[in-house]
Amino acid sequence: MYMPFFARSHFDLGVVVRDLLAGARRPALWIAFATDEIQQRYRRSRLGLAWIVISYLVFVASITVFFGHFSDVGHSQFTVYVAVNFAIFTFLLGNVTDGCAVFRVARTWIKSAPLPHSIYIFKSIARSLFVFAINFQVAVAILFGFGFRLHPIAWMAVPAFFVLLLNVVFVQLAFGYLAARVQDIDHLMQSVTRVFYFTTPVLWVRNENEAPGLRKTISELNPFTHALEIFSAPILGKQPDPHSWAYIGIFTVVMFVIALVIGGLSHRRLPYWV
C-alpha cells in the first residue's frame, strides 16, 4: 500500500476558510485561552506584567544608546523610530515563531476536543496582541515624551495594522501545519529569525541605506521591511512608500493561497501529527 507524503485524495481547498470562520465565531473561547496563558506566564513573578514593559524598554534604550550615533537622524528622532518599529517588529516576528509551535503547544486540546484549529491560532495572536498593545502604548508615550506629535497621516497605520493582522493569521496557519508535519521548520525559523533582526530596518533607518547592492536587495526582499514601512511611517509622520503597500498587498494574497493549500492538505491529518 503506497502512502504519499500528503494524501492527495483528502485535499480540501475550502476547509481553511470554514475553519477560520468557525473559530472566529467563538471569541469567548480563545480569549479565555489567551488570558490563561498570559496569567500563567506572569503569575509567579513579582513584577508580573511589568516585565512586558521592562524588556521592551531595555531593548529600545540599549539600541538607541549603542546604535543612535550611526544614524544621521537626531537622537530623539532615532529613539522614537526604534520604539515604534521595534514594537510592531517583535509582534510580527513573534507570531512567525509562535506559528511554528501553535499546534504543538495545543496538542492536548487537539487530541481531546473537536475544535476548529483556528481557535489555537486566534488564541496565540490574541496573546501577542496583548503584549503589542502594551508596548505600542509605551512607544506612543515615548513619541509624545520627546515632544513629537501625531501627524494627520497617522490614520494610515490603522488599515496597515489590519492588513498585517490578516497576514499574521495566514502565516501562523501555514507555519503551524508545516511545523507540525516537518519539525525542521522550527529549527529553520529559529536560525532565520536572527537574520531578520539585521535585515529589517529596526536597528537602522531604511532611507539611509539607499546605495544599491546586496544589502539593499536583501532588505528590500524582506517582507518585514515593508510591513514596518506601511505601519510605522504614518505614525512617524511620513507618507508610507507605495511600493511597500504594493509588496504587502501581493504578499497577503500569496500568503492566503499558500495557507489555503497547506491547510487544505493538512487539516484532517493534524491530530495524527501533533
Partner 1 sequence: MTAIADVRSHPPKKPVMSQRLGTAFLEAEGLGVTFRARGNVLHDSDAPADGRLVWSKSGRLRGVRALQDVSFRLSQGDRLAIIGQNGSGKTTLLQVLAGIIAPEVGRLTAVGRITSLININLGIQVEATGHRNITLRGLAAGYSRREIEARRQEIADFSELGEFLDMPMDAYSAGMRMRLTFAIATAFEPEILILDEWLSAGDIAFKEKATQRMQSFVGRAGILVLASHSPQLILDNCDTAMWLDEGRIRAYGEVRGILDQYNSHSKAVQKPAARPG
- Examine residue 180 and tell whether it contacts partner 1 (CB under 8 A): no
Measured from the CB atom, the residue of 46 and 272 that comes closer to partner 1 is: 272
- Interface pick for partner 1 out of 116, 201, 234, 240 (rule CB under 8 A): 116
**Segment near partner 1 (CB under 8 A); pick from 4-12, 58-66, 72-80, 133-141:** 4-12
Cβ proximity to partner 1, 157 vs 260, nearer residue = 260
**200 touches 194 (CB < 8 A):** no
Q: Which of residues 22-61 bind partner 1 (CB under 8 A)?
A: 22, 26, 28-29, 32-33, 36, 40, 43
Among 108, 149, 191, 213, binds partner 1 (CB under 8 A): 108
Q: Does 8 bind partner 1 (CB under 8 A)?
A: no
| Three cell numbers, residue 219 | 532588505
**Candidate ranges 146-154, 208-216, 240-248, 264-272; the one touching partner 1 (CB under 8 A):** 264-272
Among 109, 146, 161, 198, binds partner 1 (CB under 8 A): 109
Binding site for partner 1 (CB under 8 A): 1-3, 7, 10, 12, 15, 18-19, 22, 26, 28-29, 32-33, 36, 40, 43, 108-116, 267-268, 271-272
